[in-house]
């Protein structure tokens, strides 16, 4: 349907043409690659548990503080449980972010391999 070579000015009815647009079959090709499936798997294996963990940990705070204020006011050292729990949220958030950055190196590796594969494929086609 869409021509492979896009003119510099967008065509009516085809508003979101990014330049330069990869050819139409490349998406299906990448989607079928093992590296891409592994990339999606690795991402969901990290992101889904991480999102559940931080959402649960976070909402424990307003729930415990809101519904059990007496218990949360229990003194611990110079402060109380409520303040320590709130403060811990900052460090847990930073920890999850740090773990994600470390885990994301694997995603970048898969991404790089996919891009290299595509470059080789272009070269094999004898394009440029």
Partner 1 sequence: MSLTLILFLAFIAVTLVITYWAAKRSAGAGAYFAAGRRIKAWQNGVAVAGDYMSAASFLGIAGLIAFFGYDGFMYSVGWLVAYLTVLLVVAEPLRNAGKYTMADVLAYRMRPRPVRAMASISTLTVSTFYMIAQMVGAGALVSLLLKGSGITFHTAVIGVGILMIIYVVFGGMIATTWVQIIKAILLMSGTFLLSLLVMAKFGFSISTFFNAVQHVTYTANGQQVVKDFLQPGLRFKPPYGALDLVSLGIALIFGTAGLPHILVRFYTVPDAKTARYSVVWAMVLIGSFYIMTTFLGFGAATLVGRDYITKNGGTNMSAPLLAQAVAGNVFFAFISAIAFATILAVVAGLTISASTSFAHDLWTNVIHKGVERKPGEEVRVARVTAFVVGAIAIGIAIMLGPTANVAFLVALAFAVAASANLPVIVFSIYWKRFNTAGAVWGLVFGLVGSIVLIFIGPSLMGVDGKHFFNHAPIFPLENPGILSVPIGFIGAILGTLLSGHEATAEHKFTELQVRANTGLGSEKAALVH
Q: How far is the CB of 20 from partner 1 (least distance, A)?
A: 8
Q: Should residue 38 be labelled a site residue for partner 1 when binding is judged by CB under 8 A?
A: no
Task: Map the footprint of partner 1 across residues 72-111, applying CB under 8 A.
Answer: 72-73, 77-80, 82-83, 86-87, 89-90, 93-94, 96-98, 100-101, 104, 107-108, 111
Report the distance separating Cα 71 and Cα 88, nearest Å: 17
Q: Should residue 28 be labelled a site residue for partner 1 when binding is judged by CB under 8 A?
A: yes
What are φ and ψ of residue 18, in 5° steps? -80, 145
- Considering only 54, 106, 109, 122, the residue that binds partner 1 (CB under 8 A) is 54
Q: Which residues are CB-neighbours of 53 under 8 A, at least 6 positions away?
A: 96
- Considering only 2, 3, 34, 40, the residue that binds partner 1 (CB under 8 A) is 40
Question: In the structure, how many helices (H) and strands (E) does the chain have?
Answer: 4, 2
Contact yes or no for 30/114 (Cβ under 8 A): yes
- Could you check whether the bond before residue 53 is cis, i.e. omega within 30 degrees of 0? no
Q: Which residues are CB-neighbours of 23 under 8 A, at least 6 positions away?
A: 4
Nearest-CA neighbor of 82 among 67, 55, 64?
A: 64
Q: Should residue 31 be labelled a site residue for partner 1 when binding is judged by CB under 8 A?
A: yes
For partner 1, the binding residues (CB under 8 A) are 9-10, 12-16, 18, 21-22, 26-28, 30-31, 36, 39-40, 43, 47, 50-51, 54-55, 58-59, 61-63, 65-67, 69, 72-73, 77-80, 82-83, 86-87, 89-90, 93-94, 96-98, 100-101, 104, 107-108, 111, 114-115, 118
């Amino acid at each position: 349907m869409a021509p492979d070579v896009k003119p510099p000015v967008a065509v009516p009815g085809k508003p979101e043409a990014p330049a330069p647009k990869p050819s139409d079959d490349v998406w299906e090709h990448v989607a079928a690659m093992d590296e891409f499936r592994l990339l999606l798997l690795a991402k969901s294996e990290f992101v889904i548990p991480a999102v559940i963990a931080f959402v649960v940990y976070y909402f424990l705070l307003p729930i415990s503080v809101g519904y059990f204020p007496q218990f949360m006011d229990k003194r611990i050292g110079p402060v109380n449980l409520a303040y320590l729990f709130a403060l811990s949220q900052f460090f847990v958030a930073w920890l999850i972010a740090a773990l994600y950055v470390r885990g994301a190196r694997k995603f970048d590796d898969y991404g790089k391999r996919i891009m290299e594969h595509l470059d080789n494929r272009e070269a094999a086609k004898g394009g440029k």
